[in-house]
Each structure stands twice: as C-alpha cells, then as structure tokens.
Amino acid sequence: MKRIRPSRWSGQLLQARCGAGIAAARQPFLLAARCQSTSSAAAHDSTPIDSPPPLPAPSFARAAQSAKLAALHARLSLSKKIPLQTLARALVTPSADANPNFNNTNLAYLGSTIVNYHVLEYLVCKWPRLPMAILYEALRAYSGDASLQQIARRWGVESAAAPGEEVDPGLLQWKAGEEQVVNTRWGYIRSDKAPAWRRGLSSRVVLDNDFGDQVSSAAPEKPEFDSLQSEAFGSVVQAVIGAIYTHCGREEVKAFVKSHILSRELDPSTLFEFKLPTRELAMLCAREGFEAPVARLESETGRLSRTPVYVVGIYSGKEKLGEGAGPSLDVARRKASMASLKAWYLYSPGNKVRVPSDMMEEGAKPWTAPYIDIGEII
C-alpha cells in the first residue's frame, strides 16, 4: 500500500505569495481607483501611481525576521520542518485578510477536523455511555472556540491592535467589526422547506456542525465581540495543528493534540442537568432488567431542627446504586437518584483506553473492541 505523504503537499503553503496577482478578494489597484469621482481624485494625486496599496496583513517575507514568531515556534517545540512562514500564516485570520491564499482558513479547517476527531474518539472510548447532548458539550469543552482561545493565550499569542502590513507578523492579525467576508462555519445545512420540524438530538449526528449547532445558509446575525475574538484565537490553534499535520504527519499531530488539548482536565459529571431523575432511574432499571429502585433512609440527623440532614441510598434489590444527602427527605432522594444516574452514565472502562487511531502506529497490539452502549434512556 502506498503511503500518503502530506509533507509533500506543504509546498503550496509557501508558494502562495508568488501568485499574489490571482487574488480574488484583493482588489486590483486599477479597479480600486475611482476614475469618475472627483472627491477622491485629490487623494490619488498625492501618491505615486505605481506604488501598490498596502497589504492587509504583513508579508510572509518578513516572517524570518520576527522574534515573536521564532519565540512561539520554540515555545511550542515545533519541528524544524515547519517553517516560520507557515506559522505566520496561521496567525492571519480571514477578518484581516479575506484572501484564502494568505489567511489561515484552510489550515484551521484541517486542524479542526483533526482536533475534533481525536477528542471525539477519546470521549467515546473513555465514557461510552455519555448521552449525545453531554457528548457534544464535552467536545465543546475540549475543542470549542472558548477553550482553544485559552490555549492560544497560554501559548503567548497576542493580537495586534489592528491588522496591517507594518505589524509584526508574530502578532495575531484580527479585527472585529465589519461583517464577516469569508464564511468559516462548516456543517450540513438543514433545508428551509420544513422549518417547523423538531430539531432532535439524533438528527444532529448527521446534520449541523461538529458541536450539534445549527448552521444557516443565510447571513448570520451580527455576532458578539467575544465570540468573534474566541473564534479568531481558536483558529490559530487549529491552524497550527493543521500545519503540523501538513508538514510533519499523523503521529506528530496526534502527540501534539494529546499534549495540548486532551491533557486538559474535564469533569463530565458537572455537565448533567436532569429533569425527572427518579423516573429516569426507574426507566433505566426497567430497561436493564434490574429490580425497581427503592429509596432507603440510611441515616439522619436533626429531624426536628432547623438544618436537618438526611442520607438516602437508592437500592435495586440488595445492590446499592447511589447515595445522596440533603436537607429534606425529598431533596435527598432526588440527589441520590441523580448520583445513581451519573454513576450509570459515567461508566468508564479505565483511564488508559485505547482509541482506534492507536492502531495506526507501527507494531500496535491487536485491536479489542471497546465497550459500546446500547443507547440513552428514553
């Protein structure tokens, strides 16, 4: 079998500057001059005709001179195969330079698919019984824009006050404000014919984007400053990961994702929100063929006082499922049911789970199928 060598494709990342003339979104100089207008004529007269307009972002030719870029390259312990020019391109967001030949859109999309794949396969193997809604939120907690922004800031990425040619290429070229010229949102768009259809969770597996959020084909409403900022910073992390994949390959990018994204701690038990925990637990026991859950009062103190504490355990037959403490019998029982449900959902085969991409390594041990749950409690 022939191996794919993505490192051979990386030449185009560096050659983009040669074809600057074909830039679609960058307006050619002659078209930009307003010949019919009288108001702008004075401004044009003062500048010499053959000087090109300033670039929207710093030229990659200056990347080698930037101390910030070299520092970032060294701080991330990136391989020598990744040139500083690629790192400089990862810092140019489409809000600064709309031309896809010069901004980080493509690298960021490549990186986001890699990050989401590695996080999702880890989550599914680590907590096989997580409900779909919790799985989406856990994925967002690892690789959503807000988390990636934190990572970028910890890497020491700083944004320039305003993007421009004269700015240090080691700064993030980003600006908020005008409408987004380039669409950077990816996902399956739902048809507009049936807007009244319920947007259920299982349809989000196929439709919508990676986090189960709806993507609309219409122009999005004006986003908040914070979300634009986290998107810009997040795209840096994704673009760096895309660059590592392009220049160094699969193993390196997996190690990088593991050490920078999967190493972050997430407690999935805080993501749950129940509606009717006692009924959900009864349905679970009925589905799995366990005896019906029974709440038993294990201990109590201060029943006649202002602050009583009851400890209630939920039992199925003689087996204890969970326990909870609360200031009233009802609260304690509901807390105990929630604890038992969390114990069911947060089953984990172990801390060192093997994921499918482990099999890509050379000399990997034979694959044993991971635990696959039959599904959520309905």
Partner 1 sequence: MDLRSLLRPASQLLNPLRCLSTPRAAATAAVSLPLTSSRGHKTTARTKRALKMAPHDSFLPSRTAAFPADDSIIYNPPASEASPEHTPFIFLPRNDPRRLAIMRLRSSSNDPTAYSQANGELPPEMRYKRREAKYNLTKEHIEEMRRLRNEDPLTWSVQKLARKFECSTVFVQMAAPAPPEHLQWLKGKMERKMERWGPKRTQAREDRKRRAEMLYRGEL
Binding site for partner 1 (CB under 8 A): 269-270, 272-275, 277, 282, 290, 294-298, 312-313, 315-316, 318-325, 329-331, 333-335, 338-340, 342-344, 346-349, 371
Rounded to the nearest angstrom, the gap between the alpha carbon of residue 245 and the centroid of all alpha carbons in its chain is: 17
Rounded alpha-carbon distances, angstroms, from residue 322 to 269, 296, 316, 333, 334: 14, 11, 10, 10, 11
Q: Which CB sits closer to partner 1, 164 or 326? A: 326
Quote the least distance from Cβ 350 to partner 1, whole Å: 9
Quote the least distance from Cβ 266 to partner 1, whole Å: 13
DSSP letter, residue 127: S
Partners of 311 in the β-ladder: 299, 325
Residues 6+ away with beta carbon under 8 Å from 291: 285, 316, 317
Q: Which CB sits closer to partner 1, 163 or 293? A: 293
Q: Which CB sits closer to partner 1, 220 or 317? A: 317
Partners of 172 in the β-ladder: 159
Residues in the chain: 378
Report the C-alpha gap between 82 and 346 in whole angstroms.
40
Quote the least distance from Cβ 149 to partner 1, whole Å: 25
Q: Which of 314, 373, 318 is nearest to 340 (CA)?
A: 314
Q: Which CB sits closer to partner 1, 330 or 361? A: 330
Report the C-alpha gap between 362 and 360 in whole angstroms.
6
Quote the least distance from Cβ 128 to partner 1, whole Å: 9
Do the beta carbons of residue 243 and residue 82 sit within 8 Å?
yes
> Residue 30 is encoded by which pair of tokens?
């002659």
Looking only at the bridges linking them, the beta strands covering 309-316 and 293-301 are antiparallel
Q: Which CB sits closer to partner 1, 58 or 313? A: 313
Quote the least distance from Cβ 264 to partner 1, whole Å: 18
33 burial type by CB count under 10 A (0-12 exposed, 13-18 middle, 19+ buried): middle
Quote the least distance from Cβ 212 to partner 1, whole Å: 19
Quote the least distance from Cβ 130 to partner 1, whole Å: 12
Quote the least distance from Cβ 283 to partner 1, whole Å: 11
Do the beta carbons of residue 84 and residue 71 sit within 8 Å?
no
Looking only at the bridges linking them, the beta strands covering 293-301 and 319-326 are unpaired
Q: Which CB sits closer to partner 1, 6 or 128? A: 128
Q: Which CB sits closer to partner 1, 152 or 341? A: 341
Sign of the CA dihedral with 235 first, then 239, 242, and 244 last: negative
Quote the least distance from Cβ 282 to partner 1, whole Å: 7
Q: Which CB sits closer to partner 1, 72 or 338? A: 338
* 356-375 per-residue burial string, b: 16 or more CB within 10 A, e: under 16: ebeeeeeeeeeeeeeeeeee
Q: Which CB sits closer to partner 1, 226 or 330? A: 330
